[in-house]
């Protein structure tokens, strides 16, 4: 069908190995990744282990996106983006799985074109398994190369994360609501400022100043610092728009 979950399930069906390693097209691993991951999988008794989604760009725009993707202000506090201590987590990037655990929950749900990894890890944890993060595991990731591609990516992230939240009640947390709430707040403030008082411009202006200060702190050179505010706005607002406009029939229509 050309859809990610269908391809992953086909790959799962084509192998009989007890350990299943997922590597996607935008990513690359070093020579020790699988050996180390299998060791951690066995030591921790987990059903899935993963590490840092180490975004690295080639162009100035990609490097700015990579910097944003590895920052708290860009993506929140998810350890597989920003790093952190080893331990049990909600989800990881890609993953090295116990095959028996994957098949026990039915593999990837083909209805989730996006966010299928988060949805799968939720079911693995619900079935009693442990998902484990270890910062020693690094997967190099190539970010999107244009504004349009980045906006589309984060729009899809938002709309499918909303779909997961509707399907699995009680799984929404503040990190996933931050972008849509941010979008609503500043949209309302801009309308109120135009209709009533310029004082309502204060929250949007504060937001922009915060982004500029953060860009100065996380950017490693001026090429990154000048691009980061735009990159961050695209990531925040695209996710927010996708989340808010996510249709209720998205899963059933997939």
- CATH code at position 165: 3.90.550
Spatial contact of 215 and 225, defined as CB atoms under 8 Å apart: yes
Residue % of the chain over a pLDDT of 90? 80
Alpha helices by DSSP H, listed for the chain, are 4-13, 33-44, 60-69, 72-75, 79-82, 99-104, 116-126, 147-167, 174-195, 202-218, 222-245
| Mean pLDDT score, 103-124 | 92
251 inside domain: no
**How distant, in Å, are the alpha carbons of 122, 168, 206 from that of 201?**
40, 37, 9
Give pLDDT, residue 253. Answer: 58
What's this model's pTM, rounded to 2 decimal places? 0.91
Q: Is residue 253 part of a domain?
A: no
pLDDT range class, residue 85, cuts 50, 70, 90: very high
CB-based contacts of 51: which residues, under 8 Å, 6+ apart? 37, 80, 92, 93, 133, 134, 135, 136, 137, 138, 139
Structural domain total, the chain:
1
Q: Based on the number of CB atoms within 10 Å of its own CB, is 12 exposed (0-12), middle (13-18) or buried (19 or more)?
A: middle
Is 90 exceeded by the pLDDT of residue 15? Answer: no
Task: Flag whether 254 is in a domain.
Answer: no
At residue 172, the pLDDT reads 81
Residue 250 lies in a domain: no
Please report whether residue 136 resides in a domain: yes
> What domain range is 102 assigned to?
4-245
Domain annotation covers residue 252: no
Instruction: Examine residue 49 and state whether it is found in any structural domain, yes or no.
Output: yes
């Amino acid at each position: 069908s050309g859809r990610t979950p269908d391809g992953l399930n086909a790959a799962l069906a084509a192998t009989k190995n007890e350990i299943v390693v997922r590597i996607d097209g935008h990513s690359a691993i070093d020579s020790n990744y699988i050996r180390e991951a299998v060791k951690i999988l066995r030591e921790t008794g987990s059903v899935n282990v993963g590490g840092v989604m180490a975004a690295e760009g080639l162009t100035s725009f990609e490097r700015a996106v990579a910097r944003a993707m590895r920052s708290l202000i860009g993506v929140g506090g998810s350890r597989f983006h920003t790093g952190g201590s080893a331990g049990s987590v909600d989800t990881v990037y890609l993953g090295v799985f116990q095959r028996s655990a994957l098949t026990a929950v039915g593999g990837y749900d083909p209805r989730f074109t996006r966010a299928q990894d988060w949805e799968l890890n939720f079911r693995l944890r619900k079935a009693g398994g442990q998902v484990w993060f270890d910062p020693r595991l690094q997967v190099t990731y190539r970010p999107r190369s244009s504004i349009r591609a980045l906006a589309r990516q984060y729009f899809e992230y938002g709309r499918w994360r909303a779909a997961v939240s509707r399907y699995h009640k009680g799984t929404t947390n503040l990190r996933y609501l931050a972008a849509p709430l941010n979008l609503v707040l500043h949209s309302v403030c801009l309308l109120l400022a135009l209709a009533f008082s310029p004082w309502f411009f204060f929250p949007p202006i504060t937001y922009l100043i915060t982004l500029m200060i953060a860009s100065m702190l996380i950017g490693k050179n001026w090429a990154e610092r000048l691009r980061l505010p735009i990159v961050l706005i695209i990531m925040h607002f695209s996710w927010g728009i996708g989340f808010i406009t996510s249709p209720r029939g998205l899963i059933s229509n997939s």
